[in-house]
Structure 1
Amino acid sequence: MKIILLMLIAYLLGSIPSGLWIGKAFYKKDIRQYGSGNSGTTNTFRILGVKAGFAVFLADLLKGTLATSLAYLPGIDINPLIFGLCAIIGHVFPIFAEFKGGKAVATSAGMLLGYHPLFFFYSLAIFLILLFITSMVSLSSMLAAVIITLSTFILPFIFPVLLPEPDGLLSFIAVVVTAFIFYLHRQNIQRIRQGTESRISFGLNKGKTKKKKKVK
């Protein structure tokens, strides 16, 4: 019963719609009505600016970390990733925002931070390198998810400092989360193919987004 209650708490933590609440409280905007219509970090950066974007990123990251850390409470005997996954589900399908949430990236990173900090920093480095190369948050997120998933299978055998031993549950959840991330980025994938995906003002390909042709 205690485990079920904590799983519910983890889901509710993940359900906190940081972008939506910060937008309404401090900017009087429903972030879902602008840009991509998403309430996550990237759209917040784009619509509300750097300060709001970082605030939402940290909030979404920490709710994944906090949820995962519930497994370290006294008397709890369960893999922390279970609570982390509950938070991710809450982030994607938040009960506090009509079950329309973010794209699972920041909260998934928070789960890694709570579960294995060294592997988190390895994953963060991969994302930042990809972001510098592509200048696209969406593409970097998807590519990083694939590389991180593959890393859960490979690192224990070639670089055990980062992952000391094979972790079947971590690999399974990584596969599931990667599938989630690709599905939730399906519109981004279409824009990437068309060359119209938004790029940040950082990296090797900054400011190279094609303008959409106007239909006469």
Structure 2
Amino acid sequence: MAIWLSLCGASLVVAYLLGSFPTGYIAVKQLKGIDIREVGSGSTGATNVLRTLGKGAGAFVLGIDCLKGVLAIALVYALFNFASNQDFIPPTVNLQLWQPWMVTLAGLAAILGHSKSIFLGFTGGKSVATSLGILLAMSWQVGLATLGVFAFVVAISRIVSLSSMTGAIAVSIFMVVFYQPLPYILFGILGGLYVIMRHRSNIERLLTGTEPKIGQILTTEPEQTA
């Protein structure tokens, strides 16, 4: 049992470290020589990279940040596939029961890593792209449905933050609609609330009508991401 618990703990640490990989920070530092946390919204995510470096860099960061979420969940699936053929797993351990809970914990760890990166002094982004990757790995139906909501709202509003928060709200609904297990529903609730919480400054700008649309530059001081 001790070996199994150690492996589970290690997978959560790796999920956090995957989430912590500072894609946006590295991209902007390498291509423009600046700290992205000191420009725009202060976030290291794809939207701020888009505003800073343009569509190509923004799409690249979006893809890698999404991949981080996919890998965090894939790691758990691989662990359980490995454990199913090992003798050190006690017969009392129900792997089918454990797996969705471990997937949920790994997803939350990756989200936390992206927004509180150990490599950036526990600052980071808003975990939207990483959350999408997690959802696609958890349930591709939920992931694609959430992406559809995001795309619809962004097409109408041209405001990424509003689209991200709408998607965060929709996740829990889609988890129920697609009959996902309880741990995944809890992930939708907790992860969605966390993403919305990370958009506090965006909510303030939306209420005052100063939130920039796609293609516009954020002229206010960088928000605190710590």
Residue matched to 2:128? 105
Residue matched to 2:213? 199
User: Deviation digits for residues 63-89 of structure 1, max 9, x if unmatched?
Assistant: 000011011212174322321221111
The TM-score with structure 1 as length reference comes to 0.85
Alignment equivalent of 2:116, drawn from 93, 106, 111: 93
Residue matched to 1:158? none
Unaligned segments of structure 1, at least 5 residues: 156-162, 202-206
Q: Which amino acid aligns with 1:169?
A: P
**Which sits farther off after the overlay, 6-15 or 73-82?**
73-82
User: Deviation digits for residues 99-154 of structure 1, max 9, x if unmatched?
Assistant: 0011111111010111112221111111100111111000111111112222222x
Structure 1 runs, 4 residues or longer, greater than 6 Å off? none
Question: In the aligned structure 2, how far is the partner of 1:64 from the partner of 1:40?
Answer: 14
Q: Which amino acid aligns with 1:69?
A: A
Residue matched to 1:167? 181
Residue matched to 2:168? 145
Q: Which amino acid aligns with 1:110?
A: G
Alignment equivalent of 1:59, drawn from 41, 56, 64: 64
Instruction: Indicate yes or no: 2:12 matched with 1:12.
Output: no
Residue matched to 2:149? 126
Residue matched to 1:182? 196
Unaligned segments of structure 2, at least 5 residues: 1-5, 85-94, 221-226
Question: In the aligned structure 2, how far is the partner of 1:119 from the partner of 1:176?
Answer: 15
| Pairwise CA distance, 1:173 | 1.2
| Pairwise CA distance, 1:171 | 1.3
Contact kept, 8 Å, 2:21 with 2:117, in 1: the verdict is yes
Residue matched to 2:76? 71
Q: Which amino acid aligns with 1:184?
A: R
Q: How many residues align?
A: 197
Identity among equivalent pairs (%): 36
| Pairwise CA distance, 1:175 | 1.0
Contact kept, 8 Å, 2:24 with 2:46, in 1: the verdict is yes
Instruction: Indicate yes or no: 2:140 matched with 1:117.
Output: yes
Residue matched to 2:38? 33
**Which sits farther off after the overlay, 104-113 or 79-88?**
79-88
Contact kept, 8 Å, 1:12 with 1:87, in 2: the verdict is yes
Q: Which has the higher contact order (CA 8 A, sep 6+)?
A: 2
- Per the alignment, do residues 100 and 115 of structure 1 end up closer, same or farther by CA in structure 2, a change over 3 Å counting? same
| Pairwise CA distance, 1:166 | 4.2
Contact kept, 8 Å, 1:17 with 1:94, in 2: the verdict is yes
Question: In the aligned structure 1, how far is the partner of 2:73 from the partner of 2:35?
Answer: 29
